[in-house]
Structure 1
Amino acid sequence: MANDSDWRKMSKDKSPRSSTSDNLLQLNLKEHYEILRELGRGTYGKALLGKCRETGTKVCLKILPKCSTKLRDFQREFNFSYFLSPHQNIVDTYNVAFETRTSYVFAQEYAPHGDLFDAIPPQMGMTESHAKHVIKQIASALDFMHSKKLVHRDIKPENVLVFDTEFTKVKLMDFGMTRKDGNMIRKTSGSIPYTPPEICEAVRNENIIVGTSGDVWAFGVLLFCMLTGNFPWENADIGDVYFNEFVLWQRRKTTKQPSQWRRFTPRLMRFFRKVLDIKPERRCQVKEICKYINDEWTCPNKVVPDSDEEEELSSDNDRIEHLTALLEDHGIDTKIDKRIRERRISEWLLAL
Structure 2
Amino acid sequence: MRSDRLGRIHRIQQPALEQLELARDYEVLKVLGEGCFAQVLLARHRRSGTTVVLKAVHVELARLSDFHREHHYSYHLSPHPAILSAYSVAFRTERSYVFAQEFAPLGDLAGNVRAGGLGEPACKHVARQLSSALEFVHSQDLVHGDLKLENVLVFAADMSRVKLCDFGSTRRAGSLVSRTATGCAWQPFLPPEVCDAVGGERYPCRAAADCWQLGIALQVCLTGCPPWRCADAVRDARYAAFLRWQRRRTTHVPRQFHAHAPRLLRLLRRLLEPCEEKRAAAGEVAKYLRDAWLQGRAPPSPSPGPARATASNPLDRKMAAGRVWEWLLACDGSAEPGVEGV
Q: TM-score, normalised by structure 2?
A: 0.81
For residue 129 of structure 2, the aligned residue among 105, 125, 137 is: 137
2:196 pairs with 1:201: yes
The worse-fitting range, judged by mean Cα deviation, of 35-44 and 51-60 is 35-44
1:70-85 to structure 2, matched below 5 A, reads 70-85=63-78
Stretches of structure 1 lacking an aligned partner (at least 5 in a row): 9-19, 303-352
Does the 8 A contact of 1:21 with 1:98 survive in 2?
no
* Amino acid in structure 2 at the alignment position of 1:299: Q
Corresponding residue for residue 112 of structure 1: 105
Q: Which residue of 2 aligns with 1:290?
A: 286
Question: 1:284 aligns to what SS in structure 2?
Answer: coil
Q: Distance in 2 between matches of 1:43 and 1:221?
A: 26
Please state if 1:89 is matched with 2:82: yes
Distance 1:260 1:43, change over 3 A: farther
Give 1:187 shift. 2.7
Gaps of 5+ in 2: 299-342
Q: Which residue of the partner structure matches residue 155 of structure 1?
A: 147
**1:51 has 2:47 as partner:** no
Post-superposition offset of 1:191: 6.0
Residue in structure 2 matching 1:223, options 202, 218, 240: 218
Cα shift at 1:30: 1.0
- Find the counterpart in structure 1 of residue 295 from structure 2: 299
> Once the two structures are superposed, what CA deviation does each residue of 1:249-281 show, in whole Å capped at 9, x if it has no partner?
011110100011101011110111111101000
1:297-341 C-alpha deviation (Å, 9 max, x unpaired): 011339xxxxxxxxxxxxxxxxxxxxxxxxxxxxxxxxxxxxxxx
Residues 130 and 166 in structure 1, CA contact (< 8 A), matched pair in contact too: yes
Question: In the alignment, is the contact (CA less than 8 A) between 2:117 and 2:223 conserved in 1?
Answer: yes
Distance 1:97 1:276, change over 3 A: same
Contact map agreement 1:182 1:211 (CA 8 A) in 2: yes
Query: Cα offset for 1:31?
Result: 0.9
Deviations 1:34-88 (A, max 9, x none): 0000111234312110011111111010010011111111011011111111111
Alignment of 1:160-179 (within 5 A): 160-179=152-171
Which protein has greater RCO, CA pairs closer than 8 Å, 6+ apart?
2
Aligned counterpart for 1:249 among listed residues 223, 232, 245: 245
Q: Percent identity?
A: 44
Cα distance in 2 between the residues matched to 1:191 and 1:51 = 33
Q: Which one-letter code corresponds to 1:169 in the other structure?
A: R
Alignment equivalent of 1:263, drawn from 251, 255, 259: 259
Letter in 2 for 1:267: R
Distance 2:59 2:44 in 1: 23
What SS does the aligned partner of 2:228 have? Answer: coil
SS at match of 2:187: coil
| Residue 187 (1) aligns with residue 179 (2) | yes
Q: Which amino acid aligns with 1:225?
A: V
User: Could you tell me whether the CA contact under 8 Å between 2:14 and 2:65 is conserved in 1?
Assistant: no
| Runs ≥4 residues deviating over 6 A | none
Root mean square deviation of aligned Cα = 1.9
Aligned to 1:320: none
Deviation string 1:126-170 (CA, Å, 9 cap, x unpaired) is: 011011111100111100000001100100110001111122211
Q: Secondary structure at the match of 1:193?
A: helix
Question: Counterparts of 2:45 and 2:267 in 1: how far apart (Å)?
Answer: 45
Amino acid at match of 1:32: D
1:205-259 C-alpha deviation (Å, 9 max, x unpaired) = 1111110000000000000000000011111111101111110101111010001
Cα distance in 1 between the residues matched to 2:36 and 2:283? 31
